[in-house]
Chain A
Amino acid sequence: MVKKIEFESYKEMPIRPMTLGSMMWNLTGSWRNVRPLYDFKTSPCILGCPTNENIQRYIYLVTEGRYEEAWKTIIESNPMPAVTGRVCFHPCMTKCTRKDYDEAVDINAIERSLGDMGLENGGWMEKSKAVKKEKVAVAGSGPAGLSCAFYLARQGYPVTLFERDKALGGVLRWGIPEYRLSNELLDRVIKQILDSGPVEVKAGVSVGTDVSMDQLEKKYDAVFLGLGLMSSRGLGMDGEDEDGIEPGLDFLRKVNSGERVDPGAKVVVVGGGNTAMDVARCALRAGSEVTVAYRRTRNEMPAIAEEIEEAEKEGVAFHFLAAPKELVRRGGKLVRVIFQKMELGEPDDSGRRRPVPVEGETIEMEVDRLFTAIGEQADLEGIESTVETDWDLIKTSDETGATSNPKIFAGGDVVTGAASVVEAIAAGRKAAERIGRMFAGEPEPEVEEPKTVGIEDMNTDYFTRSKRNLVPRISASEAKTGFSEIKTGYTREQLASEAERCFSCGVCNFCDNCWVYCPDVAIARHEDEYEFLYDYCKGCLICVFECPCNAISIREEGK
C-alpha cells in the first residue's frame, strides 16, 4: 500500500518538510539483506568459574542496586559466596576481558560483599521442604558435601549429612586459617545452608568405619562422598616420624581449633602450595622465624599469588630450588636440615619444569621444627571396596561425580586430589543435579559448546580506563601479630564503583545504545528487553557496532 501525499490546496501544505501522516505503512524492513539479532554469549568469567556462577548477571544487578537478586543469582550455583569471596583463587578474574584492557574486575571482592549481605539478610535464603521420597546420604561436610546437600535439599530430597569431626566444615574449618576465614563466619554460613532445607546432621560419625557403606546403601537411595583429603603426604625420608617433624595439616588443625602452639624459634615449611602458605603464616603468628623451602621456583608455586605476596610482606622467607635431603639431630632433637640444591629441567606431565638435583650442592638450615606441606592424601578406609579407585582417590566417570557404583557419587578433593574450594562446590552441585535427574528418570543433557567473546569483540570506545578498587586491608605488620581477618571488604561505594567496571561481555546490560542509535526507530524498548521491529529494520547494523557488549549478532537474510 503506497499512499501518495495529497492536499486539497497548497494552503494546507505544512511549513515543514514532512509527511502529513504516519510512514508506518512503509515497511522498510524489506530492504534488509542482513539482520541484527540479540544473541547473548557466555561471558568469559562465567566459563572461568568452576561452578559457573552467572557473574555477568550478578554484577549487572549490583550496578542496579538489586543486591538480593544478585545474591540469589550466585546461590543458583554456589551456596557459600561469603566463603568463596574470601578464599577462592578466582580463575574468573584470570578470564576477565577487562584484564586485556586495564585490570580485571575484582569479581572476588564483589562476591564477598554480596556473600556478607546474604548472611546479614537472613530472609534472602529461600527455604525448601522435603517433598520427594528419595533419601540421600552425604559423607563429609566440607565444601563438596555442603554444596551437594544444599542442592539436593533445594530439589526437595531429604539429606543426611555425615561428618567425622564434631564440628562441620571440613577443610574450611581446619585447613584455612582464621585470618582468611574465621570459624565464626563459617558457622553462620553452615547454619544458613542447613536451615534452608531438609538436612539432618550426624556429626562425629565416620563413614566407612562408624557406619559402613553397606548400611548407607541399604538405607539411602544414593550416597555422595565428599570426604576430602585427610592426611599430609610424607617426605619419604629417614627419621621423619621422629621429633621435630610435623605434618602441616596437623599444625593447622591445632591452630584452627584454638589450641596454643609453640613451633619453636626457627621453622621451616617444605612445600609450595596453599597449605604451605597457611602453615608458614600461622607459625609466623605464633612467633616463629619462618622459611618456606620449595623445590622449584616461585613461578611454579601452586599457591595463590596473593597468598605468596602476603606471606612475603609479613616476613616469611623463601628458599627456592631446595629439597630436604637429610635431617640432623643432636641428642634426639632436630637441629639442622640439609637441603639438596635443585635446578629446573625438562617439563613434566603437569607442564611445569621438573626439578633435578645439582650434584654435590647442598644447603644447610638451622631448624627447630619442620612442617611438611607437600600434598595431602585421602583416607578411604571402609570405602575402597565399594567404588573403583585410582591410587588413593575415588574414580569418577565425568564431572557429575558418577562412580563405578550406580548409587554412589563422589566429588571434591577425594576425586581430584588437592584442588580448590570452588571446584569442590561445583562438584557437589553437579552431583546433586545428577542425582536429582537419576531419581526423576531424566536423561543427562547434552552440553553445547558455549559461545563467548574476547576483548577484540567489545566496542571499547564506550569504556574508559580505570584502576581496580582496592580491597581495604589491615597492614602486614598488624596482620602478622594476630589472626584478625586481613581483608576487610569493600565499602558500598567501592562495590558500586567496581561493579561499574564490568564490560558485560556478550550480554546486554540495558545501556540503551542500540535503542538510541537506531536511525529508523526500529528497536522497541520493553521492561526487561529490547526488540527488533523487523518490519522497519533496514539492516544498517549501527546497533551491532554501537553495542559495547557484543550482545547483538548478525545473520544474513535467507540463510
Chain B
Amino acid sequence: MKKVIMGNHAVSYGVRASEVKVISAYPITPQTHVVELLSEMCANGEIDAKFIKVESEHSAMAACVGASAAGSRAFTATSAQGLLLMHEMLHWAVGARLPIVLANINRAVGPPWSIWTDQNDSLSQRDVGWLQIYCESNQETQDTVPQAFKIAEELQMPVMLVMDAFFLSHTYEIVDMIEKEQVREFLPPYKPDIKIDTADQHSFGNLAGPDHYMELRYMIQKAMDRGLDVIKRVDSEFEEMFGRGYGLIEPYRCDDAETILVTSGTVASTTRVVIDELRDEGVRVGSLKIRVFRPFPIEDVFEVLSKAKKVAVIDRNISFGAHGIFYQEIKSALYGRTDIPIIGYIAGLGGRDITPKVIREIADKAIGDEQPERYINWIGVKI
C-alpha cells in the first residue's frame, strides 16, 4: 500500500516492520518524530517492543548495547550533538560486535546552533567501525531499515542509516509501505548464537591483553570487508521480494560520461535533474551516488569513475584542515590506479540549499576549463 508519509516516519515504519524488540532514544530535532511515533506504537501495541526512556544519547546507546548483547534486536535514532554524545558507546557496539541499527538524521553540529542538515555529525564517526548507509528518499529510508538489520545481524556489526534533515526528515513523499508479515520472511527473528544468558555463563567485554586485542580488531576489519558482498546480496534479496533495490553505489548516465559528479544523500537525487539538463544540451556528464560509505566500495567506485576524464565530488561536510570527506575517500580509492583529475566542492553546509542551480554551477565549473583550487572549492560562500 502506498502512503504519503514524512521521512522520519518512514524510518519508524521500517522499524515497525523489522519487529524490533528494544528501542531506546533521547529526543533531538530533527530526529524526534522517529522515536515519537515509535513510542506511540510501543504504547498501543503496534510494536511488541520495550521502549526505554533515557536521560542522554550516551545512555540510549548503552541501553541498546545491553539489549543487543542480551539477544534483542535494538534500535535508536539521533542527530548531531546526540550522535557525538554517543561516541564512546558507538565504539562499544563495534568492539562488542553488536548488530544495533541507528538512524542518524544528518544535522549540522553546533556551535553555532543549527538544526539544518549537513554530514559532519555522521562522518566524524567514520572511524568507529559502524557501517554507514546514506539514503536519498523516504522509500529508500524505509526499505533500508530491515536491510540494515539483516546486514548487521549477519556481520555482527552495527549499522548506521543516514539521511538528511528536513530535505528528507520533514518531507512528505509517497512510500510503498512494507509490513512485518512480508518482512519476516526477509528478516527472520534475531537469534544470536552468543548472548548474555544466565544459563550459559560467560563474561563479556572483559580485558583482552596484547595477545588477543589485535586479533579482535582484525576480525572487525574482516567483517567490514565481507560487508560489501553481504550488503549487495541482502539488497538483491530485498529487490527480489519487494521490487526495489539500491546497491552499494548508484551510477547515473555514467557509461560514456566525460565528467562524473559524485554525490550522496538527497543531493544525489537533485543532481540527476541537472545531469538530464546537461545531457539535453549534449554535455557528456553523469553522476555517481555513494550509498554505502562504510565499508567503502572501492572497487565499485573505481569501476565507474576510472572510465571518466574528470571527477567532481560534492561534499556537504568538511574535515577541517584537509578537505571534504567524500573527496578524500574517492581520491584514496583511485590513488595509483588512474591519473584523472578529482576536484572537490564544499556546498550546502548547515542546511544551505543545494538546488539544481547550485549543482549546475558546480558542474559548469568542473566541466569548464576554469583551473580549480587544488584542495577546496567552496560553493556559494559570501565572504
Contact = CB atoms under 8 A, between A and B. Distances in A.
The answer to whether any beta carbons of A and B sit under 8 Å apart in the complex is yes
A23 B202 contact: yes
Contacts of B281: none
Given A22-B201, A23-B201, A17 B194 contact: no
B222 to A, nearest CB: 9
A18 B219 contact: no
A521 interface: yes
A81 B115 CA distance: 62
A17 B215 contact: no
Interface residues of B, number: 19
Nearest to B156: A15
B160 to A, nearest CB: 20
Contacts of B194: 14, 16, 18
B202 A17 contact: no
Interface stretch (B35-43, B51-59, B205-213): B205-213
A23 B156 CA distance: 24
B97 A13 contact: no
Contacts of A17: 95-96, 204-206, 208, 216
Contact of A19 (B198, B203, B215): B203
A13 B202 contact: no
A10 interface: yes
A20 interface: yes
Contacts of A10: 215
Of the listed residues A16, A19, A521, the one surrounded by the most CB atoms of chain B closer than 10 A to its CB is A16
A14 B204 CA distance: 11
Contacts of A22: 200-202
Nearest to B95: A17
Nearest to B198: A521
Given A14-B194, A15-B97, A15-B156, A21 B216 contact: no
A2 interface: no
Interface residues of A, number: 14
A521 B197 CA distance: 12
Contact of B204 (A13, A15, A18, A21): A18
A24 interface: yes
A18 B216 contact: no
A19 B202 contact: yes
A18 B192 CA distance: 15
A283 B198 CA distance: 71
Of the listed residues A18, A20, A22, A521, the one surrounded by the most CB atoms of chain B closer than 10 A to its CB is A18
Given A10-B215, A521-B198, A18 B203 contact: yes
A17 B92 CA distance: 11
Contacts of B219: 13, 15
Interface string A1-45: 000000000100111111111111000000000000000000000
A18 B219 CA distance: 14
B193 to A, nearest CB: 9
A217 to B, nearest CB: 67
A13 B215 contact: yes
Tell me if B's interface is mostly helix, strand, loop or mixed. loop
Interface string B162-204: 0000000000000000000000000000000010001011111
Nearest to B220: A15
Contacts of A23: 201-203
Contacts of B202: 18-23
Of the listed residues A14, A17, A20, A22, the one surrounded by the most CB atoms of chain B closer than 10 A to its CB is A17
A10 B212 CA distance: 9
A516 to B, nearest CB: 12
Contacts of B216: 13, 15, 17
A24 B201 CA distance: 8
A542 to B, nearest CB: 16
Contacts of A18: 194, 202-206
A3 to B, nearest CB: 12
Contacts of B208: 17
Contacts of A14: 194
B373 to A, nearest CB: 44
Nearest to B213: A17
B328 to A, nearest CB: 29
Contacts of A13: 212, 215-216, 219
Interface in A74-121: none
A517 to B, nearest CB: 13
B89 to A, nearest CB: 15
Interface string A261-292: 00000000000000000000000000000000
A17 B215 CA distance: 10
Nearest to A14: B194
Contacts of A15: 97, 156, 216, 219, 223
Contacts of A16: 96-97, 156, 194, 204
Nearest to A5: B212
A186 B376 CA distance: 93
Contacts of B205: 17-18
A81 to B, nearest CB: 39
A536 to B, nearest CB: 11
A409 B337 CA distance: 109
Nearest to A22: B201
Contacts of B206: 17-19
A19 B202 CA distance: 5
B155 to A, nearest CB: 10
B223 to A, nearest CB: 8
A13 to B, nearest CB: 6
Nearest to A13: B215
Contacts of B215: 10, 13
Nearest to A23: B203
25 contacts: A10-B215, A13-B212, A13-B216, A13-B219, A14-B194, A15-B156, A15-B216, A15-B219, A15-B223, A16-B156, A16-B194, A16-B204, A17-B96, A17-B206, A18-B202, A18-B204, A18-B205, A19-B206, A20-B202, A21-B201, A21-B202, A23-B202, A23-B203, A24-B201, A521-B198
Interface of A: 10, 13-24, 521
Given A16-B96, A16-B97, A19-B203, 7 more contacts: A13-B219, A15-B156, A15-B223, A16-B156, A16-B204, A17-B205, A17-B208
User: Would you list the 8 A-B pairs with minimal beta carbon distance, nearest first?
Assistant: A22-B201, A23-B203, A19-B203, A18-B204, A18-B202, A19-B202, A16-B97, A15-B97
